[in-house]
Chains A and B, each alone.
Chain A
Amino acid sequence: MSQFVIPNRIFDPAAECMPRADRTKLQATHLRRTIEQAQKIPFYRRKFAEKNISPDSVKTVADLKRLPFTTKQDLRDAYPFGFFAVPRGELARIHASSGTTGKPTFVGYTKKDMKLWADLCARFLVAGGLTSDQLVQVSFGYGLFTGGFGLHGGIERVGAAVLPASSGNTQRQIMLLKDAGINTLICTPSYALNLAETIQGQGLKKGDLALRFAHFGGEPWTEEMRCAIEEELGIHAFNNYGLSEIIGPGVAGECAARTGMHIQEDNFLVECLNPNTLEPVAEGEEGELVITSLTKEACPIIRYRTRDLARLYYDQCPCGRTTIRMSRVKGRSDDMMIIRGVNVFPTQIEEALLRVDGTAPHFMIELTRPGNLDEAVVKVEIREQDFSDKMEEMHRLRDRIGREISSITGIHFTIELVEPNTLERFTGKAKRVLDLRNLKC
């Protein structure tokens, strides 16, 4: 049996299979340029001055450890465009990711960034079986979220045809898959499971679909889920990784050997650090991924703390690519939740509750996955000032909480009003999330 699940194809062999020593030199050059570009951002100008960093002081990639970290909070503090290094006129696209409270975090792309982004997505798409004669259905939301438009650009770059179905309406998605004879599906893995189940429920057979490949991202998933999806839909499913703050999808992706996700090292420097000490973990151990962009113009980013926990693999992959690889994301080093592919922070729920009534009551978020899709419940303790003897007013309160949460997070939460002092209390940092979805890898 071949060591590859599908034919082994490489989109950009010169970049992806570059000898490691050459790449390390290239990275150092890119890093200096990135420092230069980052100096146009007040935050970095200040940080570099404090640490006495100039482009010339960065000789090798090892100098990375002298550079300052960037956190989500830093991006948020610079809302809306404080982390943009180019004038507005040079922007070609703006996307946004969910912030930790009501405001999103914007990311910008120049024309050159857009080309880079499409190339990076093309790399993992080709690695996972995409060829120019295929028809691809993108069932990620098209909008501020980087998933939809990012993959769209990559598919076009490969020369395949895109069917931009966007998210939602499962029956319609299945109709399109079947009637258009779609070969490749792009969505979140949990949505794919849901599609698979609905397809089986309709009595459709694997052979009724032309579907052969799928590329999943946007949320953590497990090897068990991969087996289930591949079996039920008769396809090969590939994992990819990215985040808006860095570029969106395209940071890393699996190849036909499926030995982890190849990191696009000519464009990103990825460190794996202990989230408490911020020192590198031993090779192959789990740590927080910290990413530096090397080639971005509009939003260069230095040592971004992704809060994603994963492992890095340095050995050579049989596919011929020389890049290091990352494991699946095993968890988070903060309290961010990923619900139906959308990033949500408990602080956003708190913000919504504050909008309803000046002070936030005690609350708890409960996540379950009864079928294949996430269910999100917010339990809110009723206080005397919230309580009305009239049922109509209690319903109005509940609906208003639901609306505020949905307007901040972009997703629907079921609101349950509960008696006071019935939710668990914590000493120290409040633990607001009870995740019962069982997604441990």
Chain B
Amino acid sequence: MMIKQLSLFVENRPGALSAVCQVLKNNRINIRTLSLADTQQFGILRLLVKEYEKAKEALEAAGLVVKVTDVLALTVPDHPGGLADILTIFDKHKLSVEYMYAFTFGREDKSVMVFRFEHPEQAVELLKNEPIELVNSADLFR
């Protein structure tokens, strides 16, 4: 159920982000989705790619600091209240979201969102009897 996400430290300066993308391009690695948390001086780039191990190796070879983080991908109904209902379930289990971001593609009437919890395994356990659809990596990167 766990999705492996790559997290990178990037400076907030012209060219920093394009250097990362260039490495992925040279290694023919496709970005499925990404999010960037930024501050005035630096940012944390979070990437979902199919061949994460190969990507990590290539990025590290290029001198970047990369971490692999477990995240969960959930389908979220694409209508008003879709995300609100899911967050209500999280609240019920006292699961707090560290960060989240959306996929650039949807699945029919649903969109897919990525959630980072402090204890992802525990989150899977708590959510397994809830009306929530987890997406596995085989499906995500098909």
Contact = CB atoms under 8 A, between A and B. Distances in A.
Interface of A: 382-384, 387-391, 394-395, 416-422
Contact of A422 (B11, B69, B116): B11
Given A394-B44, A419-B16, A387 B11 contact: no
Contacts of B63: 419-422
A417 B10 contact: no
Interface size class of B (residues with CB under 8 A): 10 to 19
A417 B65 contact: no
Contacts of A391: 37, 39, 44
Given A382-B9, A419-B11, A389 B39 contact: no
B67 A389 contact: yes
What is the interface of chain A mostly: helix, strand, loop, or mixed?
A: loop
A369 B87 CA distance: 50
B65 A389 contact: no
B141 interface: no
Contact of B41 (A384, A389, A416, A422): A416
A384 B11 contact: no
Contact of B11 (A390, A394, A418): A418
Contacts of A421: 63
Contacts of A418: 11, 42
B44 A389 contact: yes
Contact of A419 (B39, B44, B64, B67): B64
Contacts of A389: 7, 44, 46, 67, 69, 116
A383 B98 CA distance: 22
Contacts of B44: 389-391, 394
A292 B98 CA distance: 62
Given A382-B9, A417-B42, A419-B16, A390 B65 contact: no
Contacts of B42: 394, 416-418
A395 B7 CA distance: 16
* 7 cross-chain pairs, A with B, having the tightest CB-CB distances, nearest first: A389-B7, A421-B63, A387-B65, A389-B69, A382-B9, A391-B37, A387-B9
A384 B65 contact: yes
A174 B64 CA distance: 49
A434 B69 CA distance: 37
Nearest to B60: A384
Contact of A417 (B7, B9, B37, B98): B9
A383 B65 contact: yes
Nearest to A385: B65
Interface string B8-20: 0111000010000
A419 B39 CA distance: 14
A185 to B, nearest CB: 36
A387 B7 CA distance: 9
7 contacts: A384-B66, A389-B46, A389-B69, A394-B9, A418-B11, A419-B16, A420-B64
B27 to A, nearest CB: 19
Contacts of A420: 63-65
Nearest to B65: A387
Chain A CB within 10 Å — which of B7, B9, B11, B98 has the most?
B9
B65 A382 contact: yes
B115 to A, nearest CB: 13
Contacts of B98: 390
Interface in B87-109: 98
Contacts of B116: 389
Given A391-B44, A417-B9, A384 B39 contact: no
Nearest to B19: A419
B37 A384 contact: no
B52 to A, nearest CB: 14
Nearest to A389: B7
Contacts of B41: 416-417
Interface string B113-140: 0001000000000000000000000000
A395 B39 CA distance: 10
A417 B13 CA distance: 12
B77 to A, nearest CB: 28
Given A387-B67, A419-B64, 15 more contacts: A384-B66, A387-B7, A388-B67, A389-B7, A389-B44, A389-B46, A389-B116, A390-B44, A391-B37, A394-B9, A394-B42, A394-B44, A417-B11, A418-B11, A418-B42
Contacts of B11: 417-419, 422
**B10, B65, B116 interface centre (most CB from chain A within 10 Å):** B65
A421 B9 CA distance: 13
B79 to A, nearest CB: 31
Contacts of A417: 9, 11, 41-42
A79 B97 CA distance: 51
B105 to A, nearest CB: 24
A63 to B, nearest CB: 57
Contacts of A382: 9, 65
A391 B44 CA distance: 7
